[in-house]
Each structure stands twice: as C-alpha cells, then as structure tokens.
Structure 1
C-alpha cells in the first residue's frame, strides 16, 4: 500500500554523522516531530544534538525582528554549530521554518551529510495550532502579530519556499508526529 502522507523524494539514506533540517511553516509540527525523532534516536543509542532555532534565536537575538539579515545570522550560527558537532561524530537535528531557504542552502554547501525533511501543513491549520501552543520557546502569537501587520513571516507577508528535493515530504494532517518520526528514522544510518 502506498503511503500518500509521506512522499519520498530522494531514495537515499543520510550517512553518519548527519545533519537533518526539518522545515515547514510555523505550527506545521516540526518541533513535535523532532521531539519524537529524538525519542527514537535515544532508544537506539544514536549520538545526536537537537538544535531548536527558536531557542538559538532567543539567545542570539533576545528581541527578534525577523529581518533577512537577522534570520541569516541565526542560520549561519546554527550551521556552524551543526558542522562542528558533525566533525566530532554527533548527528544533528535542526528544526526551523527557513522560509527563504537560505539556511538549507548554506547547510548543503557546508555540511557533507545534510538532508531536509519538509513538513507540509495548510496555513489555516498552522494558525489554529499556534493558538494552543504551550512551548514558550516559540515567539508568542506570531500569526496574530502578522495579521495585525506587526511583522512578516513565512506564509504571511513573506513567501515560503517549499523544499524542492527533501529526503521526504510529510503531511502532518495525515500522520501523527510519532509516525512521521519513524519515517524519518528509516532514512538515517
């Protein structure tokens, strides 16, 4: 039976040490899927580090403005850290919207074993999910602030560049996060 909720674009596995960038709109399920993937990696004794760009952004830019320059600064710092961790044999998970694709592009240029997972979710569902977030590492009320014209973000005021060649495209409306994480884990050595 063909699983239409997961579209495998590349028939490859990432070799260790790898860096995996999980992308999608805010509220698509990237963080939830990443946390489920961490559970699988822990259960299988896979050395890894989970880099949440929302946490990194809060540290580097405590009052984010989400300008292109600020976003690219955060992406560069994250790719630098991921590459250093890979050099010491540590696998890395990054979850970030990266709406323009600059971080993903840099990751491909710098990191030998780099792959992307695209989490697909309609904007309306992302907006609905944001209202129920309990994780405060996220910037509060992103979509509400975008609707009020206070900021621009991917999907609202800024175009989101969908990953053209992800390892896999996951539909978060059709899969639970744990199932999505299992699909991703199958692509990792």
Structure 2
C-alpha cells in the first residue's frame, strides 16, 4: 500500500477506545507494509515526557512534545498514530498547525461508559479523591468541535471504527491501494 506521512491523532476520555482503535489500525497498516509509528500517551509519559505532572501547563507540554515528534516523523513519510487524551482544544489546534498533515479522530464514549471500562481503576480512584485533576472528573475534557472522524465507541463495533478511520485516510489521499 502506498501512503503519505500523516499524524492520526486519537483523542478522548480515558477508556474511550483510543488505544484499542489505534492498535487495530497499526496491525492493518503494518501488514500492508506502511512506514508506521505508534505514540501511545501512557508509553510516552514513561519515556519522552517523564517528570511532567498533570497540571494544565504540564499536560500542554506533554502534547507539544508528542506533537514535535509526530511532526518530524510525518514530514519523513511516516504514518504516526497518536493515542493521547489531550483534553484541551487549544493545544490540539497548535499541534495540528505544526504538523500540517493531521487527522483528528475523536474516540467518543460517554463518561459513564468509560467508567464501566475502567480497567486501570483510575476513575474509581479519582471519584474517591485519590487522584486530583483527573480528566472528566475534576478536570475538563474539551471535545473536538469538528474532528475528521468521530468513532462512537459505545454504539459501534471496533471494526466499524477502524474502517471509518482508514476510509477517511484514503479519502484524504494519505492511503492508496
């Protein structure tokens, strides 16, 4: 499969399905022979942005750093799949402008559904007051106003979400058979 460099930025609440969708897309694109990198927010925080906290300033810096790496890879013809909560619109827009070839995917699931899926127990700990400034509980999540793709992960199957993203990348000229 031929392709152009692009950053596909998955945003949404913790547990909304960002990583799950991006992992499935990564499998498909690797199988098709695409140059690909996956930047998962949890993994990035333990390596590239270690030491940053969860204040608004630190969250913005975390996203800026991910955006910088995404930009370098994208301009070198790599498809970059970023899975990061990235709760604030303004910093997502800043990264979009820096990268240029940028497709925003909103993994959209209601907070109650994300809490049901809480495999790490983070929402439970946030509700108990053990985690302060948790996105969706006591820190805001600013949903995208016009993402290129919206995956309603509470209403659609994983395969449907994956196909929507791949179809949009093809429509925008980033992928071709």
- Please classify the TM superposition score into its range, dividing by the shorter chain length: 0.7 to 0.9
| Cα separation, partners in 2 of 1:125 and 1:186, compared to 1, 3 Å | same
Residue number in structure 2 paired with 1:178: 159
Contact 2:52/2:62 (CA < 8 Å) preserved in 1? no
Contact 1:17/1:89 (CA < 8 Å) preserved in 2? yes
Higher helix share: 2
What is the TM-score of this pair, normalised by structure 1?
Answer: 0.82
Residue number in structure 2 paired with 1:155: 136
| Cα separation, partners in 2 of 1:103 and 1:119, compared to 1, 3 Å | same
| Cα separation, partners in 2 of 1:16 and 1:61, compared to 1, 3 Å | closer
SS at match of 2:168: coil
What is the TM-score of this pair, normalised by structure 2?
Answer: 0.87
Extract unaligned runs of 5+ from structure 1.
1-14, 134-139
Extract unaligned runs of 5+ from structure 2.
170-174
| Cα separation, partners in 2 of 1:177 and 1:158, compared to 1, 3 Å | same
Q: Deviation at 1:63?
A: 6.2
Q: Deviation at 1:25?
A: 0.7
Q: Within 2, Cα distance between the matches of 1:173 and 1:158? A: 22
Q: Does 105-114 or 25-34 show the bigger shift?
A: 105-114
Q: Deviation at 1:96?
A: 1.1
How many residues align structurally?
Answer: 167
Q: Within 2, Cα distance between the matches of 1:112 and 1:61? A: 23
Contact 2:49/2:65 (CA < 8 Å) preserved in 1? no
Stretches of 4+ aligned residues off by more than 3 angstroms: 60-65
Q: Deviation at 1:129?
A: 0.5
Which has the bigger relative contact order, CA under 8 A and spacing at least 6? Answer: 1
